[in-house]
Amino acid sequence: MRNTRKATVAVLFGGRSVEHEVSIITGHQIMDALEVAAYSLLPVYISKDGEWYAGASLRNVNQYRHPSFEPAKLPNAHRVSLSPDRSVRQLLAHPDSYKGLFGKSPRLWADIFFPAIHGTFGEDGTLQGLFEMADVAYVGAGVGGSAMGMDKVRMKALFHDAGIPVLSCLSISREEWRMGSETFIADLETSIKYPLIVKPSCLGSSIGVTRCENSEQLNDAVELALELDDNALIERALVDFVEVNCSVIGPPERASVCEQPFTSEKVLTFDAKYKRGSKGAKSGNEAGMASLERIIPAPISDELTARIQQLSIRAFQVIGGSGVARLDFLLEHGGENLYLNEINTMPGSIAFYLWESSGVPFDELVTQCVNIALERQRQRARTRFSFETNLLVQQT
């Protein structure tokens, strides 16, 4: 069902994150689909330095390829910020944006915000907290769900407590590593056998993920992970396994078909995910996760498919998901053991390829995301946030 009113959707992409370029791809794919669905767009680009820009000239994906790209020099691209004052509920022009405007502020209103930012300062609850303070409608998981979905260590603990199968892991902070890296490695090697996987706790897109066969590799892998994050996660590396992914949209929650991505490498790397293939969205944008080699539907039994879909919905509910998420499972020994590896609360390409294979076109997918966000905002408006009391009145 197409919306009859052309609501304006602000699509945020880029961000102060190592997944900056991936976000640009996802953001433009989403904007392609929103245009097909008859929404008006307000592109909002966040630079690697954290500067916000809004305007129609940010819509061209090709310009972001150039090292000399400077959004401040684009026509109709204005420095902006989102006020946390809920009485404003719109993007405000940065003082520098008034140059050449003769005192007239550009119109920077949006009915809803659609963050397409992966990783830190976008997918980790920080941006969602700003949206909540500003009291604007936004797509995706809320503060808690985003934060827990980003932190792999706490995510695993939460899923384990909910009875969802996960691989056990250990974690170490920068300070703990600095105080005793050799002791940590020695203790780790007595409890978990090689090969091991090391990951930054709060990053995505397989960035900083390393497979280790010995203590020297382990040391280098933890060093790398702790350059990218405050904490590193270490877990047993599966040897005989395949990855199976499923997407969930909601509430109400529905699961997509499953997929089996594959690669010749032992770890599904950033390059394998994003630098292969050429299939893109309507305007020919890079495909992001859509370019990954995969089998859809996954070549697994109907019973296993149903189990993965049920676990996906359960995990989505446990973490407080909203909009679209992708859940990545590891299937060991030909199906003997199944583990939920992680949930992605803002998956690359918002997993549109899984939903297209489930009979939901991309434009309908983004429309559903917008409608879910608007309904959440309507429900939130019914919540009482203040309580009248005479506590500060001097008692006599």
Domains of the chain: 8-140 (3.40.50.20), 150-164+240-377 (3.30.470.20), 169-236 (3.30.1490.20)
User: Where do runs of H (alpha helix) occur along 162-199?
Assistant: 174-191
Please give the distance of CA 149 from its chain centroid, rounded to a whole number: 9
Q: Identify the CA nearest to 233 among candidates 255, 209, 257.
A: 209
b/e burial code for range 174-198 (CB count within 10 A of at least 16 → b) = eeebeeebeebbeebeeebeebbbb
pLDDT for 283 equals: 47
Orientation angle between helical segments 143-150 and 126-134, nearest 10 degrees: 170
Query: Helix, strand, or coil here: 106?
Result: coil
Instruction: Check: CB of residue 152 under 8 Å from CB of residue 199.
Output: yes
- For the sheet with 294-295, list strands across it: 294-295, 254-261, 241-250, 323-332, 337-344
Residue holding tokens 């920068």? 174
List Cβ neighbours of 124 (8 Å cut-off, separation of 6 or more).
146, 147, 150, 151, 202
For 8, 20, 69, the CA distances from 29, given in Å and listed in that order, are 16, 15, 20
pLDDT for 267 equals: 53
Residue 333 amino acid letter: H
pLDDT for 292 equals: 67
pLDDT for 391 equals: 65
pLDDT for 301 equals: 94
Residue 105 amino acid letter: S
Q: How far apart are CA 84 and CA 73, in angstroms?
A: 27
Q: Identify the CA nearest to 255 among candidates 200, 315, 195.
A: 315
Q: What is the mean pLDDT for each group of 10 consecutive residues in the chain (396 residues)?
A: 69 94 96 96 96 95 94 90 89 70 63 95 96 96 96 95 94 92 91 92 80 94 93 92 96 97 60 43 52 86 96 98 97 86 95 97 97 95 74 63
Q: Identify the CA nearest to 3 among candidates 322, 363, 357.
A: 363
Q: Identify the CA nearest to 201 among candidates 154, 142, 245.
A: 154
